[in-house]
Structure 1
Amino acid sequence: MQNKGTSGESGSGQSRFEILYEDNHLLGIVKPVNIPVQEDATGDDDLLTLLKEDVKERYAKPGNVFMGLVHRLDRPVGGAMIFAKTSKAASRLSESVRTHAFRKVYLTVVHGKPPASQGRLVNTLLKDERSNTVSIVRKGTPGGKEAILDYTVLGSAEGYTLLKIDLLTGRSHQIRVQLSGIGCPLYGDQKYGASVNRPGQQIALWSAVVGFPHPVTKEEVELISLPPQTHPWNLWTPQNQKQAIR
């Protein structure tokens, strides 16, 4: 199992991003918070465009650079992400996502505490495109999509709980909505926990592990990223966090 790869290419410069893995087929990075993954209505710099520019500069590549988006993180969320550098790699990684061979583990800090030390949440979610919000609806609701996640309590402190989340489906805002639905809104989440959070707080949701079979070698690749040691993450040690997600 790999935590970091080396590129078969010869880069001439330092990346502006923290690189977790790179070879001729893949690029794994730590997504900075508050950057959209794709171009959106704000017109702010987006991660895909920035990564293309970064690779083009580092390898002095002529023409356009391919960068395939395989999975997404909400704008305020940071952590491990994998991108495809070829169309073949993008296609095979997308197939891994469809067949659930693509593993996604998150760390999050929530208000309160879930009813059990571990459990599975299964809901039907419906997205309102106009307001960009998601709600829990009855099963069978037109347009609703099944959402499943497993959670494990890792510790509690000062009224907050640190959770490990194994995401089994990839619905929009899924973790935020489902945890809010059991009375445990995420720290800093203004959209689904405005009553307990203050404006300006950074949402405490982090992509900690991304694992998948390499699209060419088939070797298992695992990217690991820990959240910054700022409040409320620093209520728990990085060592405890890392042990919990392995």
Structure 2
Amino acid sequence: MELLYADSAVVVCIKPARVLSTDEPGGLPELVRQALGNPKADIRTVHRLDRVVSGVMVLARNAESASELSRQIREDRFQKEYLAVIHGDLEADRGTLTDLLYRDKARRMTMVAKEPGKGVQEAILDYAVLGRSADFSLVRIHLRTGRTHQIRVQFASRGMPLVGERKYSTLEDPCEIALWSHKIGFTHPATGKFMTFSQKPPEVYPWDTV
């Protein structure tokens, strides 16, 4: 687990794959405390990545910072940008995907709905194709909404699952899911300064193929 920035209000780090974002044994806050050398540090999760997803995250170091960052997320002032490698090729280099999604809690899966109904929510993302290979495409993604597994489901439902996807794809890829939290931006809860942090994914398969 790599720390990118830390002060008295926030910590920015790289969340490893297979680590939960929430505060529990082995979760990201515990890893941050270990990295800071303070097992009793107040570390609070304000946004989440799926357990299998890696990349840049910010955590709050006190209740006031957590409240302010959460408010920015609710008001859509918290910037998040993702990179993904998908199977196949999108017709347009840039575009918007819009779907109706519902969460099947019993199966712990998100599904595409054909029409509005109870528990159905609109999901919107913007994408740009950054690179292509014979089998894959590298896409940059901006979420307009934040539904559970949204990116994974919206691409998989179009026959273009993320490389390494196991929940929403039957393809067997020899890698972790190729979804990376590439960039975040937020107003610092103490100083009021807008800050951005970004990190490229590791140059391993499938990132090194596109």
Q: Which of 172, 181, 186 does residue 197 from structure 1 map onto?
A: 172
Does the C-alpha gap of structure 1 residues 39 and 93 become closer, same or farther in structure 2, counting only changes over 3 Å? Answer: closer
SS at match of 1:212: strand
Structure showing greater radius of gyration is 1
TM-score by length of 1: 0.80
Mapped partners of 1:172, 1:190: distance in 2: 15
Does residue 48 (structure 1) correspond to residue 32 (structure 2)? The answer is no
Q: Which runs of 4+ in 1 moved over 3 A?
A: 52-55
Which structure's residues are more often strand, by fraction? 2
Cα deviation 1:127-157 (Å, max 9, x = unaligned): 1122211001134221112211100011110
Does the C-alpha gap of structure 1 residues 225 and 157 become closer, same or farther in structure 2, counting only changes over 3 Å? Answer: same
Mapped partners of 1:45, 1:130: distance in 2: 25
Does the C-alpha gap of structure 1 residues 187 and 50 become closer, same or farther in structure 2, counting only changes over 3 Å? Answer: same
Tell me the number of residue pairs that the alignment of Structure 1 and Structure 2 aligns. Answer: 210
Q: Which of 145, 155, 173 does residue 121 from structure 2 map onto?
A: 145
1:116 aligned residue? 92
Mapped partners of 2:178, 2:84: distance in 1: 5
Mapped partners of 2:23, 2:68: distance in 1: 24
Question: Is contact 1:108-1:205 (8 Å) kept?
Answer: yes
2:195 aligned residue? 221
Mapped partners of 1:48, 1:125: distance in 2: 30
Does residue 65 (structure 1) correspond to residue 46 (structure 2)? The answer is no
Query: Unpaired runs of 5+ in structure 1?
Result: 1-16, 237-246
SS at match of 2:12: strand
Question: Is contact 1:214-1:220 (8 Å) kept?
Answer: yes
Q: Which of 127, 138, 141 does residue 165 from structure 1 map onto?
A: 141
2:206 aligned residue? 232
Query: Unpaired runs of 5+ in structure 2?
Result: none
Q: Could you tell me which amino acid in structure 1 is paired with residue 22 of structure 2?
A: Q
Superposed displacement of residue 110, structure 1: 0.3
Question: Is contact 1:69-1:84 (8 Å) kept?
Answer: yes
Superposed displacement of residue 111, structure 1: 0.3
% same residue: 37
Question: Is contact 1:96-1:212 (8 Å) kept?
Answer: yes
Does residue 207 (structure 1) correspond to residue 191 (structure 2)? The answer is no
Superposed displacement of residue 39, structure 1: 6.0
1:179 aligned residue? 155
Q: Could you tell me which amino acid in structure 1 is paired with residue 60 of structure 2?
A: A
Does residue 37 (structure 1) correspond to residue 21 (structure 2)? The answer is yes
Cα deviation 1:78-121 (Å, max 9, x = unaligned): 00000000100000000100111101100000000112111111
Mapped partners of 1:96, 1:69: distance in 2: 14
